[in-house]
A and B are shown apart, each in its own frame.
Chain A
């Protein structure tokens, strides 16, 4: 049947915000993918900017690697401001 490409769609909902993944569309080329994404994901003024990328080009981290990739960050409390206790006289910092 049709051999249109699957594209992942990212929408920037407002100026100043990141593009966020919302789903996918089928299209023959990227121009059509932008238009199809516009019809599908921004019918109610949900966006000011669109990205489309062929799904096949996305590399995702594997859930099997979740621990080696992300767990090591969990105990690095010194990366967070709340780790450092200062006397009250210092005020807001």
Chain B
């Protein structure tokens, strides 16, 4: 999940009786699965929660370009280079779709990006792990985009119209990302050398747990989930989504001929699901707090890009103004 921990600022969910007429009308719409649109009345906490969630999601797409950018200059064939470039371009595009949805709520994109650059805004913890081999480009596509898709497919039904529509568009485009990543790994495992196979296994060993962390804290430790679910911003719980991801991924893993670094992983016949080990939550919260392996580098790179580009953006505005004056004269 690209937005792992979104504050709602709500301690307790109001019952319909406790709500004002406007609030009740709003909640009834949500309950009836009627999409909320930009100009509709909405509780301020709903608006703020959405701004936080959509901006986290957008920041994740943008920061997510960096670990791939680390390898795009070293792609091993022209075909792989083209695929990766197209994928990175999509990440930037998806960031922009999401910022665009966020702006319909009255938020300012530049201000929200400032929060990212000052370390106040979060983004998915997964992008704070380094990409250390070419196999990571495959594993990121397969596991990271795979985890994102599990979450995003559900978010297509989120209650806020512009967010839901952005998700529909993103899901449509992103279906190629996961397939591309998996196909890349499959090629290495089936046709590659031993060194390449080792590279793939090493990549899965490093990225498996961080991928599971993408779904956020366990349901017991997710105090904001109840309100988000009541508002139908969120449609399924973190643990449900994480379980779905594990269930659909393990058969693919076996087809690759690889393993995951979890001795507790096994099929549970009575549950009809895979059991898996406990996530290292201390690591999750540390990375989220900014103390992961690459947090500093990622934020610094994005901040520098936008700061170094200030003169370019200003020049474009100055030029546009001059042209307008010329045309008016």
Residues of B near A6 (CB, < 8 A) are 103
Our pick among B101, B114, B173, B323 for the contact of A29 (Cβ within 8 Å) is B323
Task: Please indicate the chain B residues that have their CB under 8 angstroms from the CB of A26 in the complex.
Answer: 109
| Given A28-B319, A29-B316, A43-B89 contact (CB < 8 Å) | yes
**Any B CB within 8 A of the CB of A52:** no
Chain B nearest Cβ from A24, distance in angstroms? 4
> Is B110 a contact of A28 with CB atoms below 8 Å?
no
Minimum CB distance partner of A28 in chain B: B316
- Given contacts A1-B110, A6-B103, A63-B39, whether A23 and B97 have CB atoms under 8 Å apart is yes
* A44 is an interface residue with CB less than 8 A from chain B: yes
Q: Which residues of B contact A62 (CB under 8 A)?
A: 39
Q: Are B313 and A2 interface neighbours, CB within 8 A? A: yes
Residue of B nearest to A2 (CB): B313
Q: Known contacts A44-B173, A60-B39: does B96 contact A29 (CB below 8 Å)?
A: no
- Taking the nearest CB of chain B, how far is it from the CB of A4, in angstroms? 6
Q: Per-residue CB proximity of A22-43 to B under 8 Å, as 1/0? A: 0111101100100000011001
Known: A28-B319, A29-B316. A1 touches B93 (CB 8 A): no
B166 at the interface (CB under 8 A from A): yes
B10 on the A face (CB < 8 A)? no
Q: Is A3 in contact with chain B by the CB < 8 A criterion? A: yes
Evaluate contact between B320 and A29: CB separation under 8 angstroms.
yes
The residues in A between 30 and 76 inclusive whose CB is less than 8 angstroms from any CB of B are 32, 39-40, 43-44, 60, 62-63
Interface residues on B, range: 20 to 34
Question: Is B306 close to A, CB under 8 A?
Answer: yes
Say whether B317 contacts A1, CB under 8 Å.
no
Q: Are A40 and B93 in contact (CB under 8 A)?
A: yes
Residues of B within 8 A of A1 (CB): 110, 113-114, 306, 310, 313
CB distance from B141 to the nearest CB of A (A): 18
Do B96 and A4 touch (CB < 8 A)? Answer: no
- A1-B114, A2-B310, A43-B93 given as contacts; is B100 within 8 A of A32 (CB)? no
Give the chain B neighbours of A39 by CB distance below 8 A: 93
The reply on B15 being an interface residue by CB < 8 A is no
Bound-state CA distance A44–B89 (Å) is 12
Residues of B within 8 A of A43 (CB): 89-90, 93
Partner of A4, one of B40, B113, B317: B317
Q: Contacts of B267 on A, CB cut-off 8 Å?
A: none
Q: B37 near A: Cβ within 8 Å?
A: yes
Of A24, A32, A43, A44, the most chain B CB neighbours within 10 A belong to A24
Report yes or no: B310 in contact with A40, Cβ–Cβ below 8 A: no
Residues on B lying within 8 angstroms of A by beta carbon are: 37, 39-41, 89-90, 93, 96-97, 100-101, 103, 109-110, 113-114, 166, 173, 306, 310, 313-314, 316-317, 319-320, 323-324
Return 22 A-B CB contacts under 8 Å, by A number.
Answer: A1-B114, A1-B310, A1-B313, A2-B110, A2-B310, A2-B313, A3-B314, A4-B313, A6-B103, A23-B166, A25-B96, A28-B317, A28-B319, A28-B320, A29-B316, A32-B316, A40-B93, A40-B97, A43-B89, A43-B93, A62-B39, A63-B40
- With A23-B97, A29-B316, A43-B89 given, name 14 new contacts (CB 8 A): A1-B310, A2-B110, A3-B314, A4-B316, A6-B103, A23-B166, A26-B109, A29-B320, A29-B324, A40-B93, A40-B96, A43-B90, A63-B40, A63-B41
